Structure 1
Amino acid sequence: MLVYHLPGTFQTREPDLDLLWEAGATGLEERAGAIRVYFSERVLLPPAVADGEWHEEPDQDWQAEFRRTLRPVRAGRVTIVAPWQREEVEAGQLPLVIEPGMAFGTGHHVTTRLAVEALDDLGLETRGPGAAGARVLDVGTGSGVLALAAARLGARFAYGVDIDPLTVPIARENAEVNGLLPSQVRFEEGTLGLSPLTFPEEGVDAYDVVVANLYAELHDLLAAEYAEHLAPGGVAVLTGILADKLGLVRAALAREGFAELRETVEGDWALLTARRRG
């Protein structure tokens, strides 16, 4: 069996994951701070992912091993599970079924869990006009896990946008698997600056919550867009931030007039929440 060992994690190498699939990878696994990439034969890889090493390993059913070692993720009131783990959701928890696959976001990375916990803490079911439920924008939605979690947690409407055309159909499939309707959650391809402000009702022109699991430099670039897409008093939930780059994101949010910055740090990763002044 051919395994390509690539330094980094799914989070730090997210832009490179599509390159690996396009090169013919049959599976990806994150283990011990590195990415194991499975191939049926040795291939010429693009320069962006050429910093790894090829290894010949004994044949094994890596998919069976992946299923065996994958565990449910409990994040606040939500438990994120693969389809074969439905029966493992504890009573009283909200199940969120995500098919592990090509789209980034199975819920197992610490940043995803932190984001879902932060959404739960916001009380989405009582936010928004008339306390009828929050309207949530998920930027860089990937598999749709954060938008879907928001819908599970009582958001009136969640809208996920991603520039990767491969992710949107997967996010839509995950919505169907979880029984969530287009009136509850919607996914589109595009960038934040170009995406329409899409809502199921007329006369709405901003979101109550923006959530984004991206890296610090992108948060810096998009901070003004976050503010533009949020209603006054709305909350930004930003993660995917390496702890040593918190200062960059704090400064970007302050620059765009956000207040009440709060941070959560777990290991190397951090999450920031902030309120748009209104």
Structure 2
Amino acid sequence: MTGTYQTLTVDLPEAESEAAQDLLHELGIMGLEVRDREAPVMPGVRAPVAGEAILVAYFEDAATASEAREEVAQAFPRARLQLAEELQQDWSNAWKAHIKSVQVGRLWVGPPWDVPNAPADRVRLVIEPKMAFGTGDHPTTSLCLGAVDTYMAEHPGASVLDVGTGTGVLAIAAKKLGAGRVVGTDNDPVSVELARENAEVNATPELELSGKSLESVQGPFDLVVANILANTLIELAPLITAHVKDRLLLAGVLAHQKAEVEAAYVKLGLVAEAGAQQGEWVRLDFHRG
């Protein structure tokens, strides 16, 4: 018989998140999920509203969960709390339900188990999600995929740099859509290894995928894509801009962060374009002036 566990979901101001996490750990949780506004949220999962965080605490029994709810409510009066009972699942497979295939422009991007559903008339990318970010169905990735598809249709053979390549999805997409030299970098060794595996699966072994710093990557590139977080985009602006020969696409940026990120690149001489938005996420487009 399948067992159950209790969840306590806490929506509260982001500034109170760390203190609330500490309290929950003291209250006997089995596990804790933190959804932070600054980090990408998995597809199909409710994201926090602006200025807030969501904490989901897991408990073995209802009594402990109920006591924790009272403690959190007392310590954090502005928090909104919800108790629920959940069926235990086989987490090794349950997470797959959240990974969906997407069709963007000429591309179909999906996980290995969904390949039989891929249309024959699309350029097919098979991406194994594992632990790296970038399966194709998150808005930040699909926003970039659409722009990469458009650019490659107009500039066959263009060189491409993918900063923070994750699963390698954008680099692989560029290559399969007709790019020339394609380089992908990531400071996470796990991501680099997974990107290389995905490149092999997608018959694009010639991609240059590594953990190299931007300083050691020889450029410039016709198209530079960076789907990472806003603060990192601002920090890396001089290094990223130096590699841009023609076009730059930035993603991983929430609507309220757009102006600050855009200003960092305009200040370095790039010209901002209209970009695009999907939900709360925006893509920033630039060209070399």
Number of the residue aligned with 1:76: 105
Residues 90/258 of structure 1: CA separation in 2 closer, same or farther (3 Å cut): same
What is the match of residue 87 of structure 1?
116
Cα shift readout 1:141-199 (whole Å, capped 9, x = no counterpart): 111111111111111121100111111111000000001122xx12010332x3321xx
Matching residue's letter, 1:167: S
3-state SS, counterpart of residue 96 of structure 1? strand
1:275, 1:55 → 2: CA distance? Answer: 51
User: Cα 1:66–1:52, aligned 2, differ >3 Å: closer, same or farther?
Assistant: closer
Aligned twin of 2:233: 219
* Equivalent position of 2:9 in the other structure: none
Structure 1 equivalent of residue 17 of structure 2: none
**Cα distance in 2 between the residues matched to 1:13 and 1:120:** 25
**TM-aligned CA deviation for residue 246 of structure 1:** 0.7
Query: 2:264 maps to which residue?
Result: 252
Question: Distance in 1 between the 2:59 and 2:193 partners?
Answer: 33
Q: Percent identity?
A: 36
- Code of the residue aligned with 2:273 in structure 1: it is L
Please state if 1:13 is matched with 2:25. no
Q: Does 1:137 align with 2:161?
A: yes
> Following TM superposition, by how much is the alpha carbon of 1:63 offset from its aligned partner in structure 2, in angstroms?
3.3
Partners of 1:166 and 1:66 in 2: CA distance: 19
Deviation of residue 229 (structure 1)? Answer: 0.9
Instruction: Between 57-66 and 243-252, report the one with greater CA deviation.
Output: 57-66
Q: Choose from 195, 200, 204 the match for 1:171.
A: 195
Provide, for residues 39-75 of structure 1, a one-character-per-residue CA deviation record: whole Å limited to 9, x for no partner: xxxxxxxxxxxx6523345332233333345321112
**Counterpart in 2 of 1:271?**
283
Aligned residue for 2:189, secondary structure, equals coil
1:188 corresponds to = 210
Give the drift of 1:138: 0.4
Query: Within 1, Cα distance between the matches of 2:161 and 2:185?
Result: 8
Classify the secondary structure of the residue corresponding to 1:211. strand
Q: What do residues 208-237 of structure 1 show as CA deviations (whole Å, max 9, x unaligned)? A: 010000122222222222221122xx1000
One-letter code aligned to 2:221: Y
Change (3 A) 1:69 1:126: closer
| Contact 1:75–1:117, Cα closer than 8 Å, also in 2 | yes
Shift in alpha-carbon separation, 1:58–1:172, aligned structure 2, 3 A: same
Report the Cα distance in structure 1 between the residues aligned to 2:231 and 2:98, rounded to whole angstroms. 33
Is 1:54 the equivalent of 2:66?
A: no
Question: Which secondary structure does the structure 2 equivalent of 1:262 belong to?
Answer: coil
1:55 partner amino acid: F
CA distance in 1 between counterparts of 2:184 and 2:163 reads 6
> Which one-letter code corresponds to 2:178 in the other structure?
G
Confirm whether residue 235 of structure 1 aligns to residue 247 of structure 2.
Answer: yes
Letter of the 1:178 partner, please give it: N
Report the alpha carbon displacement of residue 260 of structure 1 after superposing the two structures with TM.
4.4
Matching residue of 1:23: none
Q: 1:76 to 1:55 in 2, by over 3 A?
A: farther
In structure 2, how many angstroms separate the alpha carbons of the residues matched to 1:168 and 1:94? Answer: 23
Give the Cα–Cα distance (whole angstroms) in 2 for the partners of residues 188 and 208 of structure 1.
19
- 2:131 equivalent in structure 1: 102
Which residue type is aligned with residue 191 of structure 1? Answer: S
Give the TM-score normalised by structure 1: 0.76
Q: How does 1:198-213 map to 2 (within 5 A)?
A: 205-213=219-227
Counterpart residue identity of residue 53, structure 1: A
1:176/1:109 CA distance change after superposition, 3 Å = same
CA distance in 1, matches of 2:118, 2:154: 25
Give the distance between the partners of 1:93 and 1:241, measured in 2 at CA. 28
Q: TM-score, normalised by structure 2?
A: 0.73
Number of residue pairs the alignment of both structures matches: 232
Structure 1 residues 119-158: aligned runs within 5 Å: 119-122=148-151, 124=152, 126-127=154-155, 133-158=157-182
